[in-house]
Amino acid sequence: MQKFVHPGRVLRDLMTQKCVMMPGSFNGLVARMTSDLGFNATYLSGAALTASRGVPDIGLLSLEAFTQAIEDIYNSSGLPLIADADTGFGEGEMCAKTVWQYSKAGAAGLHIEDQQFPKRCGHLDGKSLIAVEDMVKKIEICADTRDKCSNGDFIICARTDARGVEGIESTLSRSKAYIDAGADMIFPEGLENVAEFEYVAQKLRSHKPGVFLLANMTEFGKTPLINFSEFERMGYSCVIYPVSTLRVAMGAVAGMLQGLKETGSVEGSIDKMLNRKELYGLLEYTPGKEWMYPGTKK
């Protein structure tokens, strides 16, 4: 029997070798495709998951909803994933439970943010932050739980939304406090240009050379479109594309539905669909043959 290696250890090893591209997977089928196309890791966005459930990204979904999605994504793809945990689903006790449950579900790590609840998208204005001391306490609890549940392999990522509230220097001071509290990775949200990303990376690497850094390459927000190679050059450990797959998918769905309404046929969208063979291939399913859960090649 193959020895189990925690997904967090797999992702840590990947990130020490290179910058890792992490497209968002909001369900198991997207995760299967991400794996089939050769990506080494994936990401579960709270914004994408909540939108796929028909609600906005304001902290409405439960811990159980997130862990179910994590299980689907990990079991379908075998890829290590970082999963959004919003503000930790509560205070210290819930942060500890979240780390345990995410690790058990198959996540390589999670990120929690320093926004006040109810939270909002990091690229929207009008956010409020909790006190640094309160966030430090959450991270300390998460780090202690990481060590207990995974022998230190699970990744604790601290996201700070300070850039849009208190400015770039607060992003740095908060990030340093979070690193000192035990965070393995920092997610500086809402940076507005390459110069800011480079400045933050340089300052945080000076504070702790081995800290992992996550860059968010979302669309239609504060951050312009930046090529992956630029993040790689600046020394970021991974780049997430959190809602891209959902936006593309729902754009295609909207086009198909509009065409069906106008013409009474899906003929105009046939060439954009996965055919039956392609869909079954993605699912690793052959009709008439026994299919064994979870059906992944990993």
Catalytic residue among 19, 121, 142, 238: 121
Q: Is the peptide bond before 294 cis (omega within 30 degrees of 0)?
A: yes
Catalytic residue among 6, 120, 159, 163: 159
Is residue 86 annotated as part of the catalytic site, yes or no?
yes
Catalytic residue among 32, 111, 123, 163: 111
Q: In which element (H, E) is residue 111 found?
A: strand 109-113
Catalytic residue among 9, 57, 178, 236: 57
Is residue 189 annotated as part of the catalytic site, yes or no?
yes
Is residue 19 annotated as part of the catalytic site, yes or no?
no
Distance, in Å, from the CA atom of 139 to the CA atom of 248, rounded to the nearest integer, reads 34
Is residue 151 annotated as part of the catalytic site, yes or no?
no
Catalytic residue among 27, 40, 75, 216: 216
Neighbour-count burial of 210, counting CB atoms closer than 10 A to its CB (0-12 exposed, 13-18 middle, 19+ buried): exposed
Q: Is the dihedral of CA 92, 98, 101, 102 positive or negative?
A: negative
Catalytic residue among 9, 19, 40, 84: 84
Is residue 293 annotated as part of the catalytic site, yes or no?
no
Is residue 121 annotated as part of the catalytic site, yes or no?
yes
- DSSP code of residue 115: B
Is residue 84 annotated as part of the catalytic site, yes or no?
yes
Is residue 219 annotated as part of the catalytic site, yes or no?
no
Catalytic residue among 72, 113, 140, 184: 113
Catalytic residue among 19, 40, 43, 142: 43
Is residue 95 annotated as part of the catalytic site, yes or no?
no
Is residue 72 annotated as part of the catalytic site, yes or no?
no
| Cα 154–chain centre separation | 14
Residues serving a catalytic function are 43, 57, 84, 86, 111, 113, 121, 159, 189, 216
